[in-house]
Amino acid sequence: MSTNEPGTSGISLDDLPLRDELRGKSPYGAPQLDVAVRLNTNENPYPLPEALVDRITERVREAARGLNRYPDRDAVELRTQLAAYLTRTGGHPVRTEQVWAANGSNEVIQQLLQAFGGPGRRAIGFEPSYSMHGLIARGTGTEWISGPRREDFTIDVGAATRAMTARRPDVVFITSPNNPTGTAVDRDTVLALYEEAQSVKPTLVVVDEAYVEFSHRPSLLPLIEGRPNLVISRTMSKAFGAAGLRLGYLAADPAVVDAVQLVRLPYHLSAVTQATALAALEHTDTLLGYVEQLKAERDRLVTELRAAGCEVTDSDANFVQFGRFDGPGGAHAAWQRILDRGVLVRDNGVPEWLRVSAGTPAENDAFLDAVRALMKEQHA
C-alpha cells in the first residue's frame, strides 16, 4: 500500500513528479483483516470442488511442460470455450471472434479505455457504482464524469441523458447488477442510454455484468446483436468462485475485439491462467450450483435484515447493501461495531450504507447476529 511517509530516499509520494490527476488519490482496496467471518469483497465463500482442483492440477501440469515457450497469444481455445458458455447461458449465440479475455475484468476495462478513452476523451458512470471504472479512467488519462442516480440508486434515464448530452462522453459505463447497491438495470434503460450515446457520435457503451449469474433478470448479452458499440463485460471471479484466478472477458462485435488487441500487452494471459480457466469451464454446472445456494442466502439476508429494522436495497447480486446508519459516526461506526463482533463487511463510503457479501449459512448467521445486536444497541 502506498504512503506519503518519507522512504529510504527521504522523499514522499508528494515529492515525486506524479501526474496531477493522481495526486491526493488512494489506491483501490478493502481492509484485509484476520477475522472469523470475512464478507467484504464479494467473493464466493465455497472452495473449489476437489474434482475441479484435480483437473486444474492436470491441465497446469500439461501447460508446465511448455512454459519455455510463450502461451497462445490470442487464447483461442479459452475464448472458444467462453463463447460456448455465453451461448449456453446468455440467451444469445456468441462466436469465438466476439470474445476477448484478460487478467480480470479490470484489465478488460483498462484495455477498453486504452483503446476508446485516453487523453482528451471522457468516460461517464452513474455513481455510486464500481469505483474501479473511475480509477482506471484516470489511470489511462481519460476524464471521468460522475453521472447521477436517484435516491433509490436506480438510473433516471432523463437525468442520465442530460448529463451525457452536456458532456458527450466517449465511453459510457452501466453496471448491472450495480456494485455496491445490488440493483440490476432494466433492458429499456440500457437501450435508451445506448441510443442517446450514439445520437451525436459513435460512443462505446460498456455493460459490466460481473454479478449477472446471481441476478433474477436475464443477461443483456442479446443486445450486442446489431449494436457494434455495445460491450458486455464479465468475470470468473464471482460465479465461478475463482477470484484468485484473475480472469475476465468481454463479448462484443468482432471489431471491438480487434481494437483491444491493438493495446493489449503481448502474451498477456499466461499459459497457467489459460489452463486453469479451461479447467473451471469444464465444471460449469457444479459451480453454478453454488450460485443457486448463494442466491438463496442472499434473499435470506434481505429478509432478515429488514426484519431487524434495516433498510435494504433490492439485490440481484451476491451481496446486499443495508442501512441506514445516520447516528453518531454514521456507517463507519456501524462497520466497526460489526467488526468488533468478528464479522468484516464493506464500508464503501456511501453515506449511511454498508455492504455485505453473501457467505455460507454459518457465516451469514454470525453476521445477522452481529447486526441484530447492533440494532438493539442503537434503539436501547
Question: What is the pLDDT at residue 8?
Answer: 66
Is the domain of 140 the same as that of 190?
yes
Same-domain check for residues 186 and 310? no
Indicate if 303 and 243 belong to the same structural domain. no
- 108 pLDDT more than 90: yes
pLDDT of residue 82: 98
Q: pLDDT per residue over 38-61, tens digit each?
A: 999 999 999 999 999 999 999 999
Any idea what the CATH number is for the domain that residue 341 is in? 3.90.1150.10
Lowest average pLDDT, out of 24-33, 71-80, 270-279, goes to 24-33
**At 287, phi and psi to the nearest 5?**
-65, -40
**Inter-residue long-range contacts of 215-219, CB under 8 Å, 24+ positions, other chains counted:** 215/176, 215/177, 215/184, 215/316, 215/317, 216/184, 216/316, 217/184, 217/186, 217/316, 218/91, 219/89, 219/90, 219/91, 219/92
Within the chain, where are the H helices?
A: 50-64, 76-89, 104-116, 131-139, 157-167, 187-198, 254-260, 271-282, 284-307, 330-340, 361-378
pLDDT band at 32 (very low <50, low <70, confident <90, very high): confident
In a domain, 55, yes or no: no
The answer to the question of residue 174 being in a domain is yes
Does residue 196 sit in the same domain as residue 216?
yes
pTM for the full model? 0.94
pLDDT of residue 1: 47
Tell me the pLDDT tens digit for each residue of 151-180.
Answer: 999 999 999 999 999 999 999 999 999 999
Q: How far apart are CA 274 and CA 80, in angstroms?
A: 12
Give the residue with greater pLDDT, 9 vs 188: 188
Q: Are residues 306 and 204 in the same domain?
A: no
Residue 351 pLDDT level (bands cut at 50, 70, 90): very high
Strand, helix or coil for residue 355: strand
Residues 292 and 178 in one domain: no
Q: What is the mean pLDDT of residues 129-143?
A: 96
What cell does 103 get? Answer: 487478467
Q: Quote the domain boundaries for residue 225.
A: 68-282
- Answer with the one of 282, 303, 328 that is the final residue of a domain: 282
Task: Report whether 224 contacts 214 (CB < 8 A).
Answer: no
DSSP 40: S
Total structural domains within the chain? 2
Same-domain status, 36 and 173 = no
Of all residues in the chain, what percent carry a pLDDT higher than 70? 97
Examine the fold and report which residue of 228, 251, 282 is the final residue of a domain before the chain moves on.
Answer: 282
- Return the C-alpha cell found at 138: 484516470
The identity of residue 151, as a single letter, is: E
pLDDT value of residue 20: 86
Tell me the pLDDT tens digit for each residue of 57-100: 999 999 999 999 999 999 999 999 999 999 999 999 999 999 99
Are 87 and 110 contained in the same domain?
Answer: yes
**Whole-number Å distance between alpha carbons of 106 and 249:** 10
Q: 311 CB contacts (<8 Å, ≥6 apart)?
A: 322, 323, 324
Average pLDDT over residues 304-329: 95
Phi, psi of 22 (to 5 degrees): -100, -10
Domain boundary among 263, 282, 301: 282
Average the pLDDT over 223-249 and give the result. 97
pLDDT above 90 as % of the chain: 89
- For the stretch 179-224, pLDDT in tens is 999 999 999 999 999 999 999 899 999 999 999 999 999 999 999 9
9 has a pLDDT exceeding 80:
no
In a domain, 344, yes or no: yes
Q: Tell me, yes or no, whether 222 and 304 share the same domain.
A: no
Claim to verify: residue 182 and residue 262 sit in the same structural domain: yes
pLDDT of residue 372: 98
Q: What pLDDT is stored for residue 12 in this prediction?
A: 87
Q: For residue 343, is it within any domain?
A: yes
- Domain CATH number, residue 113: 3.40.640.10
Assigned domain for 6 exists:
no
17 and 135 share a domain? Answer: no
> Strand pairing of 171-175 and 143-147?
unpaired
Closest C-alpha among 189, 178, 205 to residue 124: 205
228 shares its domain with 339? no
Residue 52 located in a structural domain = no
Quote the CA–CA distance of 132 and 137 in Å, as a whole number: 8
- Is residue 90 one of the residues assigned to a domain? yes
